[in-house]
């Protein structure tokens, strides 16, 4: 058996993107269970492709912190089952892959103490909010009641999104 491991860009850190709202496409989603997760909390790992490059984001499954997961699913056209008292969102990778969405990128400065005892400072880009693509012929997404992290008036048409 022969192993091939790509090492391009190894050690360079992740790309820092310009802040703002950008069109993106869902190109990957993986479920990370509690055994695989360093924190012990399950989550979905999303890979999104923008014109500027690919970015990954994590959506937790912890109650009270699933707002970004709801935003992504809603932007992909996945709705909660209104007949279910738990209002479950049921989806598969096939239901979200290659969907076009709008994402809001914010940059965050972070630091840690390296193995050599020196302070390491860096910036990283994060997906802070997700919106559906604008409706054909409109410049902005249609109105929504409220989506945390978005100014009023952004979101999907004729639908209250419950968070």
| Cβ-based neighbour number of residue 31 at 10 Å | 11
- DSSP lists the bridge partners of residue 134 as none
The answer to whether residue 11 is domain-embedded is: no
Mean predicted lDDT score pLDDT of the chain: 82
For residue 15, name the pLDDT band (cuts at 50, 70, 90). Answer: confident
pLDDT at 133 > cutoff 60: yes
The answer to whether residue 121 is domain-embedded is: yes
CATH of the domain at 76: 2.40.50
pTM for the complete prediction? Answer: 0.73
Q: Which helix (H) or strand (E) holds 127?
A: strand 119-132
The answer to whether residue 97 is domain-embedded is: yes
The answer to whether residue 52 is domain-embedded is: yes
Number of domains in the chain: 1
Mean pLDDT across the stretch 60-74?
95
The answer to whether residue 9 is domain-embedded is: no
> 49 is in which domain, residue-wise?
20-132
For residue 82, name the pLDDT band (cuts at 50, 70, 90). Answer: confident
The answer to whether residue 61 is domain-embedded is: yes
Contacts of 129 by beta carbon, 8 Å cutoff, 6+ apart: 68, 71, 103, 104, 147, 148, 149, 150
- Taking only the tens place, the pLDDT of each residue in 89-116 is 999 999 999 999 999 999 999 998 988 9
Joined together, the tokens standing for residue 110 give: 């972070």
The pLDDT value recorded for residue 102 is: 97
């Amino acid at each position: 058996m022969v192993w091939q491991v790509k090492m391009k860009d190894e050690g360079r850190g992740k790309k820092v993107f310009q802040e703002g709202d950008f069109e993106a496409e869902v190109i990957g989603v993986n479920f990370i269970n509690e055994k695989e997760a360093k924190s012990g909390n399950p989550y979905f790992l999303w890979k999104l492709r923008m014109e500027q490059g690919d970015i990954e984001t994590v959506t937790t499954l912890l109650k009270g912190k699933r707002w970004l997961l709801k935003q992504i699913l809603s932007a992909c056209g996945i709705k909660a089952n209104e007949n279910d008292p738990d209002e479950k969102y049921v989806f598969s990778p096939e239901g979200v892959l290659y969907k076009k969405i709008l994402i809001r990128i914010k940059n965050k400065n972070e630091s840690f103490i390296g193995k050599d005892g020196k302070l390491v400072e860096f910036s990283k880009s994060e997906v802070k909010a997700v919106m559906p693509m604008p409706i054909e012929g409109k410049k902005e997404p249609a109105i929504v009641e409220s989506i945390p992290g978005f100014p009023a008036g952004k979101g999907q048409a004729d639908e209250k999104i419950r968070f």
